[in-house]
Structure 1
Amino acid sequence: MQTALELPQSRNRMVSMLTGCSRPLRLRTRILGVASFSTSSSRHSYKDTIKNLKVGADTRVIFQGFTGRQATANAQESLAWGTQIVGGVTPGREGTHPILRELPVLPTVKAAMEVLKPDATGIYVAAHQAAAAIEEAIEAEVPLIVAVAEHIPVHDMLKIHSMLKSQSKSRLVGANAPGIISAIGRCRIGFQPLPVFSPGHVGIVAKSGTLSYETVASLTRAGVGQSLCIGMGGDMVAGTDFVDALNVFEHDPDTHGIIIVGEVGGQAEEEAAAWIENYRIRTPQPKPIAALVAGKLIKPGYVMGHSGAWAGWGENSAEQKHQILERAGAVMVDHPSQFGEVMQQLLFKPDKSLTLVSGHRHVQLSQTITSDRPLPSGNLHELERAQGPGDVGDFLVSQGILLDDFGPWAESTDGIGAPRKIALAIDRSKRTPHFRICQSTDDNPKVARAKYIPFDFRSGPTASGIAEALEHLDIKQLPSLVATRNLLLSLFYLFKKYEAIILEVRIAVEEKIPDLDPEENFKNDLIIYDPQFVFDPAAFKSGNRHPEIHVPEAKAQGSVPLPEVEVAAKEDGIVYVKLGPSDSSDPEFSSYNIGTLVNGAGLAMNTVDALALAPHHGRAANFLDTGGKATAETVKKSFALLLADPRVKVIFVNIFGGLTLGDMIARGILLAFRELGLEERGMPVVVRIRGTNEAEGQRILADSGLKIFAFDGFDEAAAKCVELARSNS
C-alpha cells in the first residue's frame, strides 16, 4: 500500500487543486474580518512583551470600567495598599471619578494612553464586554493588560490571541485570573486578598486563584515573603503561561525561589517541566522550585469549575503531571499549606536536608528527591483516568445538532475499510484552533499516528494545511478525497458559526475493486460516523449567543441531560459534581461520605485530592465550587445540595476568601443551620475560613453557640472530617 509520500504526482496535483479552489476562499472571506496591529519590527513577537510582567512601585495603572462598583471598590483597596492608580476609562464619560475624585476618567483607552501614560490596565467589565475591552487596550498598545472576568467566551479569546500574535507591544494576563501583584512594590492589578501578602523573594505563578491565596498565606505564616505573583488563570487559552512567568522569575533579582501551582488540563505543566530541566542544566546555581498540581481525582467527562479543567485527548492526568514536574527537579507538595515550610527550608537552609512528612508523602529536600507515592485505591483510582469532556458537565456535547451540514451519516463501519479520526479542537499551548488528523481511532496519539495542523483563528485553515491533512489521511479515491476536503471545511464553518470547543468525527472509505463502469469508480464512498460535538456554554451564558443549541430543548436532540441536582446547582451559579460510583449496590458507594463546600475550582479539586491522601484516606462525596461571587443564600443552597446526598455524614466547608468574604460565608452557614435544620438532622459541620474577613467569619461562628468544628489548618480539619464521617456511618 502506498503512503501519502509515495502517492502519484497526479494525486498530489489533485490535492493542490482541491485545497486551492475558490470555495474555501469565499467561505473565509464571508465569515471573517481580519484586523492587524502594529509591531515595531517584523522580527519582534508577542514573546517580547514578557518583560511587561515585571510590575512594581513605579507601575502606572488604569482601570477599564473604572466607575463601576467592583472597579471602584478594588481601586480604593489597591490605592490604600500603595498601587499607583492614575485614572481610568469609562466609555462616554470624561472628568473625574465620582468617589475617587482626584482621579481622572477618560472615554477611551487611546485617550488614557495619551494623557495618563499608563504601564498597565485592569479590565473590570462583564464577560460579554471583556473581549472588546481587551481589543481596545491592544489597539492602544497598553504594555500590560490584566483581565479578571470569568466566563468570557472561548472564541472571543481566540480572536484576542490571534491579535496578540500580530503585535509586540501588549502582554495579556488572564482571562479568568486573579491578576498580578508585586508584594515588594505594592502593586496590585486584580482582586487578591491583600492581608495575606508580605514582601519577600518567592515568585508564584498559578492557574487557580484560591490555591494561589492559600500558597501566599502559607508562605507568610512561615515568615517567607513574596516578590511577584502571576495568576495564569484557569481558562482554556491563557494570555500568560507558566513558561512566560518562569522566564521573568529567572532574571528577576528580587525572586530567589519559585512556586508553580497547576491543575488538570492542557500541557502547561509539562512545558514548565521541560523549562525546569533545561534551566537546571544551563544554570550553575538554579533557584529552587516547588510545585503542586490539583485535580488528581476529577471525574471523567466533567469540567471541574474552570473552563480549562479537563484532560483532553492524549493529555496527561494531574498525577502524571505531578510526576513529570518531580522528575524535572521541582519539589512537589500535595496541599498549598505545605509550601511555607518547604520554601523556608529551600531558601534559608539550602545546605541541610529536610524531611517533610505530609500524609502519605515523604520528600527528602536535598540533592536527591525521593518520594513514596502510592496511588489511591478502588474507585478513586478510576477517577484519575479522565480523557476529556464527556456528555455531561459544563460543556454541551450534542450528536443531534446540524448534522445535515456534513452529508450522509453511518451507524457503523462494519465491513468497511480502516477507520480514521478527524477533530477540530483548540491547541491550548499555541492558543489557536487546529485539525487533529489520526490514521486510526486509537486513544493513544502515537498509535493513532496523530498529526496536528494549527491555523490562525481569524484567517482560518490555509490551503497548504488542508493539503497536509489530506495527505496524512492517505485517501486514494479522488471522490472521497473531495468529500474529505469538504468535511474539513464544514467542520471549520460549524466551529466558527456555533463557537465549538471540539468537533470530532470518524471516517472510513470503502475499499473497492475497480469497476468497468466509470460512474461507479467515481462514486463518493466516504463514510462519516460517530460525531462528538462540544460547544462553548459561555457563549450563551455571557452573550446569549446560539440559544438554538444551548437551551434545554436543543440539548434534548442528542446530548445526555444533566442530573436534576446539577441543573439546580448551575441555575444558582454553583458547580456541583457528584463523585463515586453511581450504583448504590457498589460496595464502595457509601464510603464517599464527606460533603465538600469550597470556593474556587482549584481549591475544590485540591480539597478532594488532599482528603483522599494519607493519613486521612477520606473520600469526598462531591466537588462543589460556590463560585467567586457567592452570597449567604448561595452557601445555604450549597448545603441543601449536600444534604440531598444520603451518603454524606459530615460537611466540610473549606473557604479561602478573595472576592468571597469570610463573614458572608459564616452567615450563610448560620442560615443553613436555621432553615435546613442541620442541628436537628445531627449533621456535623467542619469549617475552615481563611482569607478576606476571616477573623470576622470565625467570630460569627464562635458566637453562634452551634456545634461547628472550626480549624485554621487544613490537615486538622481534614482529620476531623474523616473521624466524624466514620463515627456517623
Structure 2
Amino acid sequence: MIPHRTRQLSRKIDCTSRTVSRFSTTSRRNGYDDTIQNLKIGKHTRVIFQGFTGKQATANAKESIEWGTNIVGGVKPNGSGEHLGLPVLPSVRAAMEQLKPHATGIYVAAHQAAAAIEEAIEAEVPLIVAVAEHIPLHDIMRIHSVLATQSKSRLVGANAPGIISAIGHCRIGFQPLPTFSPGHIGIVAKSGTLSYETVGSLTRAGLGQSLCIGMGGDVIAGTNFVDALKVFEDDEDTEAMILVGEVGGTAEEEAADWIRDYKKRVKDPKPIAAVIGGFQATGRRVMGHAGAWTGLGEGTAKSKYDALESVGVTMVDHPAKFGGVMKDTLAKSGRNQSAAQAQQQQRRSYHTYRRPQLPPPSQVPTQKRSLHLTADQSANLLQSYKIPISPAPSTTEPSHFLGITVARSARSPCIICTPTTDPSALTHRVRRIPFSYLTGPTPEALDAALSHLQLSSAPPTTKAQTASLIQNLWTLFREKEAIETSVSISLSSNSDALTTHSPYLFFDDAAYKSNGRQADLHALRDTSLLPSTELEAEKSGIVFVRLNGPSPDRPDDLNPNNLVGTLVNGAGLAMNTNDVVNLRLSTPSDPNAKPTYCANFLDTGGKATAATISTSFKLILSDPRVSVVFVNIFGGLTLCDMIAQGIILAFKEVGVNKPVVVRLRGTNEGLGQKILEEASLPISAFDDFEEAVREVGRLANASANGEALKM
C-alpha cells in the first residue's frame, strides 16, 4: 500500500546553491533503515520514469515493458499528455497522486539527477533508482542528509545499473535483459559489468536469479551490501546470495560482520559466494568508478577477501565461475534451486581464489586526481581559509593527522584523525567521526576528535586552535566540494602554538564536469603534470592508467617486452581482468614460461563506440612494453558487434602490430564474433575467459622468448 503523505518540504532544495533541504514530520519517524523492504520489487511493482520522454528513457521503457515491467507512466517537468500510450504528468507529486507508483527510475543527465532524486523524496516515492554517473558527491551527501530524516523512500544508486527482479520481470535500470533468467539466486554488486558476468555464468549453468541489486561504484551508495543481504535473508524466492565487491570503502568488511552474525542466529543459512576486484589497484589512483580508491584506514582488496573468507563465504577469482560454484554449493546444501530456462547447459571447471602474493600498498595513499594543484597553489588556497602552512618540523616532534573527508558507511562527512603520522601505525589508529552535512561538526564531534588526537589535556589555546582548524577545513571541504581536506599538525614543545603542514587536498571533479561548479578551482589545473596518454584518454571518456607491475621498487622483476595491454568495458571488470591475468600468468604452471603482468588499466566506459575502441588500441600500443593486447568485453550497454567494429577500425587506423586476443560475451556476442571472423585479421577470438587468458599467456611468453608468434 502506498503510504499517504505525512511530511512537508519546509525548505526548497537547491543543488546549485548552498541551501540545504529539511523535512519536518508529523508522524513517528523510524529512519532510513525502515525502507529496506522497499527493495522487494516484482510483478506487483508499479513503475514511473522521470525524464520519461527522453531518448534513452524511451528506448529503455519500450524494452522493459516488452519484458513485462509494469510501467504506468512518467514525468516530464511541466509536461502532460501521453507517451508510449502511457500518461505523462508534470511532477512526481502529481504522478504519486494519480498513478500511485511503488518505484521511480530516474533517466536524466547527471546535472539534473540530484534535483530529480530530491523531487522523488519530497513526493515520498517508496523506491528511487538513480542510474546516472558523475553526480557530484556533495549533492549526494545533501540527499542523504534528507534521506536520514525520513522513513518512506529508499535510494538505489547512483552510478548503478539499477535493480531487477528476474522472477517478477521487473527492471528499473539498464541491465542487459537477454542475460537474465528467473531463478533463486540474489545478487548485489558494486560493478555493473561484473554483475552481468555473474548473471551470465549462472544462466549458462542453468541457474536463474531472483533479485539483482546494483549497489553502484560511487563514493556513497544509497543501498549497500548489508541492506541487500537483509532483503535476501527474508526473501522466499532467494535460496543463495552472491556479493560482487571491489576496492574502496569498507562495505565488504561490514557485509562480512553481518554474515558472521547471520550464520550464528540462523539454523540453516543460505549459501553465500563472492568475488572482489582490485588486487592490482593501489591507493594512489581512482580505478574507473568514482569510489574505487582506498582511503586512509579503508580496506584493500585483500582485506576484503580475507574478511569474507573468514566467515565462510565461498570466494571465486572471476565471476564466470559462479555458475559451477553455485551449482555445487546448492547441491551440497540440499536447497531446491529450480533450474532456469537457461539458453545453454554447460558445466565449467572452477577453483576458488588463490590469492596473489603482492607487495602491500602504501600505508598512506596519495590520491592522484584529474585536478593537480602545485604545493604553492594548495598553500594559497588553505591560506584563504585561514589555514597557514609551514614546512614540516623535524621528525623528533610528534605529529597528528587531521582532516575532513567522507564517511562512506554513515553516508555523511566526517572528521578523520589519528594521533600519529607514523606510517606503520597510521592506518590502524585512524578514526572517522561522522557528522551531519546540514549542521557541520558538532561540539561533541570536536571533543571526540580532540580526545582521539590525545589533545584533551592540551592547553586551552591549543584545543581552541585545533577546533578552529577543523571548522576551517570543513568550510573549505564544503565550499570547494572536496573529497578530502587534511593536514598534519605538530605542537611545539616550546609553545602552545600549532604548526600546520603536509596538506592533502582531493577534489570532486564531477562538480565541475557535470554541473559547471568550481570553475575557478579547476582553472588552476596544470595539464603539463599529466601523461599525454591520460589526457588523450580523458578526451575520449576513457580511464587509462599505466601500471608499473607488481613491484614498482624492483623494476628488474619485469620483462620489459612481456606485458599484456588490457582493454575492458567497465571499471569493475577491468580491475578483475587485471587481477586474474596477473594471478594466472605471474606464476605460470609451465616452469619454462616467464612471468607476465598487465601493462595498464583501461576502462572504455559503459557506452564505448567503435572510435573509442580504436583510441584505446592507440593508447595501449604506445607502451613499448606491451607484447599482446587482451580485449575482454561483456556487453551490456556496450554492444559486442560495436566492439568488433572498433577492433577492425583500430587495425586500419592505428596499425595494430601486436597479437590481439578477444573475448566477447553478452549483448550481440554472436554478431560480434561473426564480424571478427569475417574480417580475416590476426585475432584470436574466444567466448570462454579461461581459454582467452591461456592464449594471452602463450603469446606473451612466445614474445619474451623471441619466438615467431603463431596466431
User: Normalised by the size of structure 1, how large is the TM-score?
Assistant: 0.87
Partner of 2:659: 684
Partner of 1:332: 315
Deviations 1:387-432 (A, max 9, x none): 5752524465664230212343211212874211101110111011
2:30 to 38, 44, 51: 44
Q: CA offset at residue 549 of structure 1?
A: 2.1
Partner of 2:676: 701
Partner of 2:206: 223
2:651 to 646, 657, 673: 673
Partner of 1:661: 639
* Whole-angstrom distance in 2 between the partners of 1:448 and 1:646: 40
Q: Kindly report which structure 2 residues correspond to 1:707-726, keeping only aligned pairs within 5 A, or say none.
A: 707-726=682-701
Partner of 1:93: 79
* Whole-angstrom distance in 2 between the partners of 1:389 and 1:592: 28
Partner of 2:3: none
Partner of 1:68: 54
DSSP 3-state at the match of 1:297:
coil
Partner of 1:541: 513
1:392 to 368, 387, 401: 368
Partner of 1:412: 392
* Whole-angstrom distance in 2 between the partners of 1:602 and 1:129: 26
Q: Once structures 1 and 2 are overlaid, which stretch shifts more, 342-351 or 200-209?
A: 342-351
CA 1:115–1:490 in 2, change beyond 3 Å: closer, same or farther? same
Give yes or no for the alignment of 1:595 onto 2:549: no
Query: Amino acid of the residue matched to residue 543 of structure 2?
Result: V
CA 1:543–1:241 in 2, change beyond 3 Å: closer, same or farther? same
Answer yes or no: is the 8 Å Cα contact 1:580–1:592 preserved in 2: no
Give yes or no for the alignment of 1:607 onto 2:589: no
CA 1:136–1:414 in 2, change beyond 3 Å: closer, same or farther? same
Q: CA offset at residue 290 of structure 1?
A: 0.4
DSSP 3-state at the match of 2:560:
helix
Deviations 1:612-638 (A, max 9, x none): 123674411110000011111101000
DSSP 3-state at the match of 2:406:
strand
2:629 to 651, 663, 678: 651
Q: CA offset at residue 115 of structure 1?
A: 0.9
Q: Kindly report which structure 2 residues correspond to 1:91-170, keeping only aligned pairs within 5 A, or say none.
A: 91-97=77-83, 100=84, 102-170=85-153
Partner of 2:254: 271
* Whole-angstrom distance in 1 between the partners of 2:187 and 2:686: 26
1:313 to 272, 292, 296: 296
Q: CA offset at residue 561 of structure 1?
A: 2.1
Q: Once structures 1 and 2 are overlaid, which stretch shifts more, 298-307 or 472-481?
A: 472-481
Deviations 1:75-133 (A, max 9, x none): 01101100001111111211111xx1x11111111111111111000011111111110
* Whole-angstrom distance in 1 between the partners of 2:367 and 2:655: 35
* Whole-angstrom distance in 2 between the partners of 1:654 and 1:193: 17
Query: Amino acid of the residue matched to residue 505 of structure 1?
Result: V
Partner of 2:13: none
* Whole-angstrom distance in 2 between the partners of 1:541 and 1:691: 31
Q: Unaligned stretches of 5+ in structure 2?
A: 1-16, 336-346, 588-595, 705-711
Answer yes or no: is the 8 Å Cα contact 1:616–1:719 preserved in 2: no
Answer yes or no: is the 8 Å Cα contact 2:420–2:426 preserved in 1: no
DSSP 3-state at the match of 1:230:
strand
CA RMSD of aligned residues (A): 2.2
* Whole-angstrom distance in 1 between the partners of 2:482 and 2:273: 36
Query: Amino acid of the residue matched to residue 727 of structure 1?
Result: A
* Whole-angstrom distance in 2 between the partners of 1:584 and 1:388: 20
Q: Once structures 1 and 2 are overlaid, which stretch shifts more, 429-438 or 184-193?
A: 429-438
CA 1:396–1:387 in 2, change beyond 3 Å: closer, same or farther? farther
* Whole-angstrom distance in 1 between the partners of 2:431 and 2:555: 43
How many matched pairs?
Answer: 661
Answer yes or no: is the 8 Å Cα contact 1:391–1:398 preserved in 2: no
Q: CA offset at residue 157 of structure 1?
A: 0.5
Answer yes or no: is the 8 Å Cα contact 2:371–2:525 preserved in 1: no
* Whole-angstrom distance in 2 between the partners of 1:103 and 1:398: 55
Percentage of matched positions with identical amino acids: 55
Answer yes or no: is the 8 Å Cα contact 2:364–2:427 preserved in 1: no
Answer yes or no: is the 8 Å Cα contact 1:299–1:579 preserved in 2: no
1:57 to 31, 40, 43: 43
Answer yes or no: is the 8 Å Cα contact 2:562–2:625 preserved in 1: yes
Deviations 1:148-207 (A, max 9, x none): 011111111001111100100000000000000000000000000000100000000000
Q: CA offset at residue 36 of structure 1?
A: 2.3
DSSP 3-state at the match of 2:652:
helix
DSSP 3-state at the match of 1:301:
coil
1:504 to 462, 486, 509: 486
Q: Once structures 1 and 2 are overlaid, which stretch shifts more, 83-92 or 238-247?
A: 83-92
* Whole-angstrom distance in 2 between the partners of 1:560 and 1:237: 31
CA 1:106–1:116 in 2, change beyond 3 Å: closer, same or farther? same
Deviations 1:651-693 (A, max 9, x none): 1111111111111111111110111122xx2x21111111112
Q: Kindly report which structure 2 residues correspond to 1:184-195, keeping only aligned pairs within 5 A, or say none.
A: 184-195=167-178
Answer yes or no: is the 8 Å Cα contact 1:632–1:665 preserved in 2: yes
* Whole-angstrom distance in 1 between the partners of 2:146 and 2:170: 27
Answer yes or no: is the 8 Å Cα contact 1:396–1:537 preserved in 2: no
CA 1:129–1:389 in 2, change beyond 3 Å: closer, same or farther? farther
Partner of 1:20: none
CA 1:215–1:38 in 2, change beyond 3 Å: closer, same or farther? farther
Query: Amino acid of the residue matched to residue 64 of structure 2?
Result: S
Give yes or no for the alignment of 1:565 onto 2:533: yes
* Whole-angstrom distance in 2 between the partners of 1:33 and 1:161: 14
Query: Amino acid of the residue matched to residue 90 of structure 1?
Result: K
* Whole-angstrom distance in 1 between the partners of 2:559 and 2:674: 37
Deviations 1:348-405 (A, max 9, x none): 34369xxx9978x5x4xxxxxxx7x3533xxxx23x5155752524465664230212
Partner of 2:591: none
DSSP 3-state at the match of 2:673:
helix
* Whole-angstrom distance in 2 between the partners of 1:594 and 1:414: 44
DSSP 3-state at the match of 2:303:
helix
Answer yes or no: is the 8 Å Cα contact 1:84–1:187 preserved in 2: yes
Q: Kindly report which structure 2 residues correspond to 1:146-295, keeping only aligned pairs within 5 A, or say none.
A: 146-295=129-278
Answer yes or no: is the 8 Å Cα contact 1:311–1:386 preserved in 2: no
Q: Unaligned stretches of 5+ in structure 1?
A: 1-30, 364-370, 514-523
Give yes or no for the alignment of 1:621 onto 2:621: no
CA 1:33–1:543 in 2, change beyond 3 Å: closer, same or farther? closer
Q: Once structures 1 and 2 are overlaid, which stretch shifts more, 187-196 or 536-545?
A: 536-545
Partner of 1:26: none
Answer yes or no: is the 8 Å Cα contact 1:49–1:168 preserved in 2: yes
Query: Amino acid of the residue matched to residue 613 of structure 2?
Result: V
Q: CA offset at residue 449 of structure 1?
A: 4.2
DSSP 3-state at the match of 1:460:
coil
* Whole-angstrom distance in 1 between the partners of 2:20 and 2:282: 39
Query: Amino acid of the residue matched to residue 420 of structure 1?
Result: H
* Whole-angstrom distance in 1 between the partners of 2:146 and 2:473: 23
Partner of 1:368: none
Q: CA offset at residue 329 of structure 1?
A: 1.0
Partner of 1:480: 462
